[in-house]
Amino acid sequence: MASFLNALPGAVTQGLIWGIMAIGLFITYKLLDLSDLTVDGSFCTGGAVCVMMMAAGFNVWIALLAAVAAGMLAGLVTGFFHTKCGIPAILAGILTQLGLWSVNLAIMDMKANQPLNVNKYNVVLSIRYLEEVQYGLRPIWEHPALTVVLFTAVIIAILYWFFGTELGASIRATGANSKMARAQGINTNFNKVLGLAISNGLVALSGALLSQYQGFAEINMGRGAIVIGLASIIIGEVTFGKLFRNFGLRLLAVSLGAVIYYIVIQLVISLLEINTNYLKLISALIVAVFLAVPFWRKRYLPKKKKEGQHA
């Protein structure tokens, strides 16, 4: 239990970072009803661009903006394949993801790993800050978890505002019923491309923050991102679905779902002392359980009869 408690702050921080990625995936998976596999590549793109921009001497905030722009560009490519080439969304995402492997290597100067020394560069968060805050070497407000909470709050506020505008509402209408939206004069192809761009921009931002937190960008850092993102969305819906009805709260539920996911992963690893090489298997089992919960609930738990209803 002691090892779990010691690792808990790091698990929460990682969950919050991946929660930003999950919010991006929520836009395509839930709002646009598109299965976008670009995220496995654009996550790494964000990290690679951020690290290389900072290594070239750029300010950390400029590096983060460049990472977001690169992710949005990846989403635009997937949108182009899907809307202009007639390729199904899931296959378009796979093609972009495949191409991004080479692009990401090129960004990282054809190296599979690029370090980011926290002593040399000014980063907004780092794993080293966890211990420094714990031992009083840094103020509490520089704790990585609080930093990511601030990022998440700003993102949710912006998305809540944007999807309440006419353009944002048209994107939501496109996902709800594209034929009806088209009949109302909405450019559904444009909305799909824009939604994919926004989604992958957030995914890339998450990758950029993770690369700063862990101190390096690595070519495989986005592998399995789609699983973590879907797990976060599902866990958030299963856990908070009945409480969080508001759109902004639904986005918050996704972020909290990612935190719960990482806490459960850390709990299993710490308490059962499982070899970390089985992490992918554990992740798959956790996702399967949370996917099955709604089905089990409907099938095996009796529904409460309404008042006045007779058998």
309 assigned to some structural domain: no
DSSP, collapsed to helix, strand or coil, labels residue 127 as: coil
Q: How many domains does the chain have?
A: 1
Overall residue count recorded for the chain in this entry: 311
293 assigned to some structural domain: yes
Q: Where are the beta strands (DSSP E) in the chain?
A: 113-115, 216-218
79 assigned to some structural domain: yes
Contact criterion met (CB below 8 Å) for 25 and 39: yes
236 assigned to some structural domain: yes
Convert the pLDDT of each residue in 121-138 to its tens digit. 889 999 888 888 887 888
Burial class (CB in 10 A: 0-12, 13-18, 19+), 138: middle
Range of the domain at 132: 2-298
Q: What are phi and psi of 201, to 5 degrees?
A: -65, -45
Convert the pLDDT of each residue in 231-250 to its tens digit. 899 889 888 878 888 899 99
CATH number of the structural domain spanning residue 211: 1.10.3470
Convert the pLDDT of each residue in 156-213 to its tens digit. 999 999 999 999 999 999 999 988 999 989 999 999 999 999 999 999 999 999 999 9
Convert the pLDDT of each residue in 269-309 to its tens digit. 877 777 777 777 877 887 788 778 777 877 887 665 555 55
308 assigned to some structural domain: no
Q: What are phi and psi of 11, to 5 degrees?
A: -65, -40
